[in-house]
Structure 1
Amino acid sequence: MTREEILQQLRSQVKASRYKHCLGVEKAARELAVRFGYENPEVAALAGLLHDYAKEQPQAEYLRLIDMYGLDEALKDWGNNVLHGLVGWLKIKEDFPFIAQEHPEILQAIKTHTVGSSTMSMLDKIVYVADYIEENRTFEGVDEARKIAQRSLDAAVAFETVRTVEFLAKKRVPIYPQTIETYNAYVNALTAVEE
């Protein structure tokens, strides 16, 4: 597929503001890949571009994917914020079969971009962080996150995960267990950067 065909397909799946965000994550992922020496910045950029491809799918589509691919039934208890990564990567696999064939690492990065993982690859970290710091983000703390991301991917993963856990805890909503595992795996990286 050409870039324009990929963009056209993405535009057909998400609203304009989400499309703009995806372009921002594409740019941030490419920049992080170059900064930290990832072997293929264009692969990182494509993962960033498509990370939210399934974000606006109806719940019924997530349920179909869970059933069709035999995923853990417990996923059905979670909402879009978790499912668009943990399940949405399968929608990308269906709609962009060349990615599954040529770059399965993109699907893995998209799968983990919402909840992280205790064993993230460099590409996983790039997409996870790029989603948080892309240039269109304006929330409190994003400038600090961007500064940390200039120095250390691990510390940036830790910072983002700490902020996510704090946010969800304040809202008194359940936190997906893999997010807690991510926190535990990376929190020391943040402490090391702050010292």
Structure 2
Amino acid sequence: MMKEDLYQLEKSLEDILPKKRYLHSLGVMTTAFSMALAFGADYKKAVLAGLLHDCAKYMTGEEMLKECIDKGVPVKQVEMLKPDLLHAKLGAFYAKTVYNIEDEEILSAITWHTTGKPDMTTLEKIIFVADYIEPNRTLSDIFNLDDIRKLSFENLDEAVYRILGDTIAYLMESGKLIDETTADTYNFYKRKLCKE
């Protein structure tokens, strides 16, 4: 992708996303770029996936649910009850159909950036982690953010595991639904890291 194309992509997102969401997307893009360099991943793919990961997050949950049903994007039971979760797979759909991204690895990284999935690729892990640690996140949002930021550049699997554990703990404390893919992903990395 040419620099001019990236600039146009940034401008089109700035036009549709709320300002805070747009700044978050830029933060994820730059964090993903740095992490790709650190872990030997394709930084161009990381930049695109990071920038576009929330490209559907300008709609309400109900609008996303309707859009997924209208466009034939599969919806799970938990997503019916918590339609905000749909922004990831709808974002991947838009990345392909609106922003002409054909690369399956980029589309997959966007699809799984919220729940994660067992046995993620390096790029998928980078986008998942970058979404959590990008510079606009604060300690008031995430209590052990500095530790996770440091860990994210040392051990990607360990960072994924810690983020998933913290997310599940937060959802349980809040009485919110936990997507089964998040639980499956947590258990996968727990086994992989021999945490049992």
User: What's the TM-score, normalizing by structure 2?
Assistant: 0.88
Aligned-residue Cα RMSD (Å) equals 1.8
Tell me the number of residue pairs that the alignment of Structure 1 and Structure 2 aligns: 187
Comparing both structures, which one devotes a greater share of its residues to helix?
Answer: 1
Aligned: 1:91 with 2:94: yes
Secondary structure, aligned partner of 2:9:
helix
1:54-133 correspondence to structure 2 within 5 Å: 54-58=56-60, 59-69=62-72, 71-72=74-75, 74=77, 75-80=79-84, 82-97=85-100, 99-100=101-102, 103-133=103-133
Aligned: 1:137 with 2:137: yes
1:42 to 41, 44, 56: 44
Quick check: 1:155–1:190 contact (8 Å CA) kept in 2?
Answer: yes
Quick check: 1:14–1:53 contact (8 Å CA) kept in 2?
Answer: yes
Q: CA deviation at 1:109?
A: 0.4
Give the letter for the 2:135 counterpart: E
Q: State the alpha-carbon separation in 2 of the partners of residues 27 and 177 from structure 1.
A: 30
4+ residue runs over 4 A deviation = 188-192
Q: CA deviation at 1:44?
A: 0.5
Q: State the alpha-carbon separation in 2 of the partners of residues 7 and 172 from structure 1.
A: 36
Quick check: 1:155–1:189 contact (8 Å CA) kept in 2?
Answer: no
Q: CA deviation at 1:69?
A: 1.9
1:154 to 157, 161, 184: 157
Q: CA deviation at 1:135?
A: 1.3
2:187 to 180, 184, 194: 184
Quick check: 2:68–2:90 contact (8 Å CA) kept in 1?
Answer: yes
Give the letter for the 2:83 counterpart: G
Quick check: 1:22–1:51 contact (8 Å CA) kept in 2?
Answer: yes
Q: CA-to-partner distance for each residue in 1:130-167, whole Å, 9 max, x for gaps?
A: 11111111132110111111211101100110110010
Secondary structure, aligned partner of 1:137:
coil
Quick check: 2:68–2:75 contact (8 Å CA) kept in 1?
Answer: no
Q: Residue 143 and residue 180 in structure 1: after superposition, are their counterparts in 2 closer, same or farther (change >3 A)?
A: same
User: What's the TM-score, normalizing by structure 1?
Assistant: 0.88
Q: State the alpha-carbon separation in 2 of the partners of residues 12 and 190 from structure 1.
A: 42
Sequence identity, in percent? Answer: 35
Gaps of 5+ in 1: none
Determine the structure 1 residue equivalent to 2:8: 5
Q: CA-to-partner distance for each residue in 1:11-67, whole Å, 9 max, x for gaps?
A: 1221111111111111110111110111x2111011111111111223224322234
Gaps of 5+ in 2: none
